Chain A
Amino acid sequence: MNEYQELSWQGLWKNNPAIVQLLGLCPLLAVTMTVVNGLGLGLATTLVLIGSNCTVSLVRNMVPNEIRIPIFVMVIAAFVTVIQLLMNAYTFSLYESLGIFIPLIVTNCAIIGRAEAYASKNPVKYAAFDGLMMGAGFTAILVILGGMRELLGSGTLFAGANLLLGDWATILKVTVFEPENPFLLAILPPGAFLGMGLLIAFKNALDRRVESWVVTPSEEKTVQRARVTADS
């Protein structure tokens, strides 16, 4: 596996910022009421991640070790401001519905975590790709969780896609069913925690299942080793 494949595998699955590192839970749980909200915040976070990773990687040899964290935070804050102004200009309704959670991307631990753990030690091309993959992994979870909650809570998918993509996207809205009594829990914060827990459990179960297919031969090896010890 070369470096790019390794980074993709880490960001999208093995070390996914949302369901393995459990970073950035505050926006993850707070805005995933719909697919579109999740996608919007995910894209914003990804752009900030790529930008901050590039910049941090560029300045990594100039930054004194003692004050690296404040510098990283300022770099991230600058990119978040850029994104915030862009969203304010081009996707105003989405900007309003995400509200405080756009400026709060600054405090998203996934971003400072990647800056500290990866970008500050690696060349720009890898750091940028790492930002892209970590952002994609984070976005994927936001979209899945948003989909689960939107489907259970209001029976639709992609409602409000026009806020993000322009007016043509209104046709993307899929009404799966029209609930007479919406399942409010799914839309309220506890639903986010429950959905998140189920996603993590699902990933762990899947990993264990896959491992059990792959690992079987190595178990035989341990048996052999035990026999050797017994003989000697």
Chain B
Amino acid sequence: MASSPHQRVKRTTGQVMRLVIYAGIPGLALQTWFFGYGALIHFAIAALTVIVTEAAILEMRKKNFETAIKDSSALLTAFLIAICIPPFAPWWITVIGSFFAIAIVKQLYGGLGFNLFNPAMAAYVMLLVSFPVQMSTWAIPQEMSQFPQSFSDSFSIIFTGFSAEGYSIEQLRTHIDGYTLATPLDAVKTAVSQGMTVQESFQGAIFEKGLGVGWFWINAAYLLGGLLLLKLKVINWHIPGGVIAGISVVSLIMYLTDDGLYTSPMFHLFSGGLMMGAFFIATDPVSASTTNRGRFIFGFGIGLWTYIIRTWGGYPDAIAFAVLIMNMAVPLIDYYTQPRTYGHRSGHNKAIKAKDSDKQSGS
């Protein structure tokens, strides 16, 4: 089966959006388990902001905002923003990000179905570019922290910058042995840039058998949720398959070239936001490609860009940048991967070729 008009399972937009959120719950739960209650609190703040923003803007556009809010698409954006934002980030980060996602990226382009870019990822990139300090201060796994946080600690950090007992974010990010821990991707990147090998960097406390503590399980949980979405036919395999294939192929080639400088495909697949990006973010039906071949190319491109930016770019993780770059390429991908119309021989490709050769002979 080709494109969306042939759906066999009848679901409303709201049902699809809510199913995606439910499938993300295992990942969110594990994120809470490893990094404290920050993600849950940010979800609440983001949900409130997106609903108010969406209602206000639709009211200004003289549209019925009740139906738009009931389709839960804004809520899904809030969910994605909340799980991407560092758990210690202050509350206004989430408010600015959610407002930007809904007001600028979604509604100014015409609302649901018209946005060129993935709202959550555009908001994330906006925040990362604007507030690099707050956006790159990740929590460390609770089991390793000097001071594990309770719910009231997380709440207090987000609203005041200090935990309920008065510890600063830097203190909370300190390992039991008294040093600050970076995220696994960051740790490897810093170590390699300082001339160490990947194996040497894996000696750090944040790693266990060459994988990041906590991050492996979080990615596994999102993988599980993603497979559930595949089983329920909410998404097709093409995009996540493309992302995983893209990053695996490149990282395998680089790993075989020099395993002292480049990490294994396994490390890339289960670090940072890869599984979440592959199954929950890249599969946004509005801003992704719409043909099956196009979807695979779109996903593959995301995997490729993620690897390139993770390895040689300025930021440790790159799902958001990769998704935005490939969003820009979607019209081109769709143009060249139009499926054959039923009953016709591949006329479209011939038309493209004819047009191209015309141009060449013309110039």
Seen from chain A, the residues whose Cβ lies within 8 Å of a Cβ on chain B are 181, 183-186, 188, 190, 194, 201
Contact = CB atoms under 8 A, between A and B. Distances in A.
B167 interface: no
Contact of B131 (A181, A194, A201): A181
A151 to B, nearest CB: 15
B99 to A, nearest CB: 12
A181 B89 CA distance: 13
Main secondary structure of the interface of B (DSSP, over half): helix
B131 A184 contact: yes
B104 A194 contact: yes
A190 B104 CA distance: 13
B108 A201 contact: yes
Contacts of B108: 201
B134 A181 contact: yes
The 9 tightest CB contacts between A and B, nearest first, are A185-B130, A184-B130, A183-B130, A185-B129, A185-B126, A181-B131, A188-B129, A184-B129, A190-B129
Contacts of B130: 183-186, 188
A185 B130 CA distance: 5
Interface string B120-156: 0000001001111110000000000000000000000
A184 B128 CA distance: 10
A208 B104 CA distance: 21
A185 B126 CA distance: 7
Contacts of B132: 184
Nearest to B108: A201
11 contacts: A181-B131, A181-B133, A181-B134, A183-B130, A184-B130, A184-B132, A185-B126, A186-B130, A188-B129, A190-B126, A201-B108
> Of B126, B130, B134, which is in contact with the most chain A CB atoms at under 10 Å from its CB?
B130
Nearest to B126: A185
A97 to B, nearest CB: 22
B334 to A, nearest CB: 24
A183 B131 CA distance: 7
A181 B132 CA distance: 10
A148 to B, nearest CB: 14
Main secondary structure of the interface of A (DSSP, over half): helix
A186 B96 CA distance: 13
Nearest to B133: A181
A188 B108 CA distance: 21
A186 B131 CA distance: 11
A111 B109 CA distance: 32
B325 to A, nearest CB: 14
B275 to A, nearest CB: 28
Nearest to B90: A181
Contacts of A183: 130-131
Nearest to B131: A181
B158 to A, nearest CB: 15
Contacts of A181: 131, 133-134
A201 B109 CA distance: 11
Contacts of B104: 194
Contacts of B129: 184-185, 188, 190
A188 B132 CA distance: 13
Contacts of B133: 181
B105 to A, nearest CB: 10
A146 B241 CA distance: 45
Contacts of B126: 185, 190
B104 to A, nearest CB: 7
Contacts of A186: 130
A190 B129 CA distance: 10
A194 B133 CA distance: 23
Contacts of A188: 129-130
A181 B134 CA distance: 9
Contacts of B134: 181
A49 B130 CA distance: 36
A181 B129 CA distance: 12
A194 B125 CA distance: 14
Contacts of A185: 126, 129-130
Interface string B86-116: 0000000000000000001000100000000
Contacts of A190: 126, 129
A62 B261 CA distance: 67
A172 to B, nearest CB: 27
A188 B130 CA distance: 9
Nearest to A186: B130
